[in-house]
Amino acid sequence: MKKPLILVTNDDGIAARGIKTLIDIAKQIGDVIVVAPDSPQSGQGHAITLEHPLRLYKVDLFEGVEAYECSGTPVDCVKLAKNVLLKDRELHLCVSGINHGSNASINILYSGTMSAAMEASLEGVPSIGFSFLNYSPRADFAATAPYVKGLMEYVLEHRMSKGNLWNVNLPDLPANEIKGVKACRQADSRWVEEFVEATDPRGQKYYWLTGRFVNEDEAEDTDIWALENGYISVVPSKHDLTNYEALAELAPLEALFK
């Protein structure tokens, strides 16, 4: 049978250890094409490049794999892959990551990893964003690799009948301490931002964003709970940001302007 075609991308840059791990796994399942940023693009969210031309260069970094580095954002990478490199080919799966660091809960809104996967899902391609709860550039993904492979194979076999985007976060635990996979909802949390103020050598002030993550959701059906309790979290996600519960409250507003 013909192998599935898998697009691999990320936001940590094409040289990151996480994407190398994801490519090695994807090669075991299907035919792989890689399009990833030429430098780290963390926190870019769904940004796209409008003011500058995009560059796409073929690179020989992964044995037996067609790979390109892109001068743009993670979303640019997916757009170029889908509309230029693969415009005449059927894409069966897009996987993004493995991100160095968590994209659980509210982090999905800022994540270049998840935005790349989301862009592919907007094109109707089943997509998964993988993130690992270790920010080190030398992180070891070995313990979670079998789960990454299993989740990819599951999607290729069963598709995603209700939506086509998963946000998967992997705990940084030894293999014997990972309890399994848990389907979750996104936890209700937020970042409390702080800015470190300093002065550069020319006497100009500058600000460096920092802050702390605050989880305000103690329920046991969330991604944060799953990760804190030794599970891999899988959150089925979507693009529709409509607050459906609030629609009924706006009926008087419509009447006011009739």
Whether the per-residue pLDDT at 161 is higher than 80: the answer is: no
Given this model, what pLDDT does residue 1 score? Answer: 62
pLDDT digits over 72-106, tens only? 999 999 999 999 999 999 999 999 999 999 999 99
Asked if residue 27 is part of any domain, the answer here is yes
Q: pLDDT, tens digit, for every residue of 245-254?
A: 888 888 888 8
144 vs 193 pLDDT, higher one: 144
**CATH code assigned at 134:** 3.40.1210.10
- Count of domains observed in the chain: 1
Q: Is residue 113's pLDDT more than 90?
A: yes
Number of Cβ atoms within 10 Å of the Cβ of 99 = 32
Flag whether pLDDT at 31 surpasses 80: yes
Length of the chain: 258
Q: State what percent of residues in the chain have pLDDT above 90.
A: 79
Residue 138 domain-assigned? yes
Q: Mean per-residue pLDDT for 212-230?
A: 92
Domain membership of residue 83 as a residue range = 5-188+219-242
pLDDT, tens digit (0-9, with 9 covering 90-100), for 173-218: 999 999 999 999 999 988 888 899 999 999 999 999 888 888 888 8
Say if 63 falls within a structural domain.
Answer: yes
Look at the block and give the residue holding tokens 């997916």. 78
Burial class (CB in 10 A: 0-12, 13-18, 19+), 97: buried
pLDDT digits (tens, 9 = 90+) for 37-72: 999 888 888 999 999 999 999 999 999 999 999 999
How many of the other CB atoms lie within 10 Å of CB of 48? 14
The rounded percent of the chain whose pLDDT value lies above 70 is 100
Is residue 60 in some structural domain?
yes
What pTM was estimated for this model as a whole? Answer: 0.92
Q: What is the mean pLDDT of residues 6-32?
A: 96
Q: Is residue 196 a part of any domain in this protein? A: no
Is residue 43 included in any domain, yes or no? yes
**Of 20-29, 225-234, 235-244, which gets the smallest average pLDDT?**
235-244
